[in-house]
Amino acid sequence: MLLNYKSFSMLKESTAFTRDMITEAKVAMKKDSYFIMPNVYSKEFCEEIKSDMDQVNSGLGVEINYGGTETRIWSAQKRFNGVKRFFDDSNQFLSSVINQDSIAGTVLAIKNNPLPKGGQENIMGRWHADSWNSQEKVFLFLSDTTEESGPLEFIPNTHKLFFRLRKALEPGFFFNHLSVLKKGNLRQYGSIPDSKVEPLFYRGYKAKPVLVKAGTVLLIDTAKLIHRARPCKEGKRYALTAYYRTGEGYHDYDVQ
C-alpha cells in the first residue's frame, strides 16, 4: 500500500494519465506486456504536434527512409512543446507503473506516407522483438490508425517465458545458432523471417494491429512481444514513441 501511495504521489495534477490508468497498467503489464488507453490526449493536441512535425524535413537527428515515405524525427521532445509535455507525462506514468524512476532516452516522432506500389523489399522481414530484457515504449498515436495506414501490430502471448525459451532454441527464429557456434556470441536476429512467424498463425497465435483513434496511448514491452510496423499502404500515419531502458545517447540529439 505504501509503495502504491508513493507512486501515486509522484503524479502531478497536470498529467494526462489518471491513477486508475496506472493501477490497470501495472496489472496488464505483468499479464500481457501491453496496455492501451484511449482518449488520453485531445485531437487538438495531436493536430498541433502533427503540424509541428510537418515543418521538419531534414537536419540533425532527422532520418528519411523507405524511398522518402517515412520521416523519423528523433529527440522530438527537444523540438516541440507538445512532445515535451508528452515526454514529461510519459516519464511520470512509466515511473509509477514500473516503480522505478524512468526518463525516456528519446522521443521519436514518426510520419509515414504510403509506400510506393510493387516491390516486396519494404514489406517482408519486419517482424522482430527489440531485445531480450524488458524495454518499455510509450506510443502516442497522433492520427487515427487503420488496417492500411501501417499500424503497429504485435502478437499477443509471445512475451511468455515458455514461448521465448522454446523459440530461443529454434534455429533461425530469434538466433542464428550457426553464427553463435562459430563466433561464440549470441547475436540476435534483427528480424524474424516471415516464414518463421507464419506458422504461429496456424497454431492459434493472432496478430493484433493497434487500430485506434488519435489521442490513444499504448504502453508496450517491445522487447518481449513480437511486433512490426505493418507497411503503410493508404493514408498518413503520425505517432510518437518514448523509448525507455535504451543505451546512453541512443538516438538522442542536442537539438535546439
Ligand X SMILES: O=C(O)CCC(=O)C(=O)O
Could you tell me if 218 and 29 are in contact, meaning their C-beta atoms sit under 8 angstroms apart?
Answer: no
Q: Which is nearer to Fe ion, 130 or 221 (CB)?
A: 130
What are 72's three cell numbers?
523519423
Q: How far is CA 19 from the centre of its chain?
A: 22
152 binds, among ligand X, Fe ion, none (CB under 5 to 8 A by kind): ligand X
241 binds, among ligand X, Fe ion, none (CB under 5 to 8 A by kind): ligand X
137 binds, among Fe ion, ligand X, none (CB under 5 to 8 A by kind): ligand X
Contact pick of 200, 222, 223, 231 for Fe ion (by CB under 5 A): 222
Q: Which residues bind ligand X (CB under 6 A)?
A: 110, 130, 137, 152, 222, 227, 229, 241
Q: How far is CA 95 from the centre of its chain?
A: 17
Instruction: Tell me the C-alpha distance between 251 and 109, whole Å.
Output: 12
> Quick count: other Cβ atoms within 10 Å of Cβ 7?
20
> Quick count: other Cβ atoms within 10 Å of Cβ 128?
17
Q: Write the binding mask 87 to 126 for Fe ion: x where contact by CB under 5 A, - elsewhere.
A: ----------------------------------------
Q: Which is nearer to ligand X, 140 or 200 (CB)?
A: 140
| Number of residues this chain uses to bind Fe ion (CB under 5 A) | 2
Give the torsion sign (CA, 235, 238, 244, 246). Answer: positive
Contacts with Fe ion, residue ranges (CB under 5 A): 130, 222
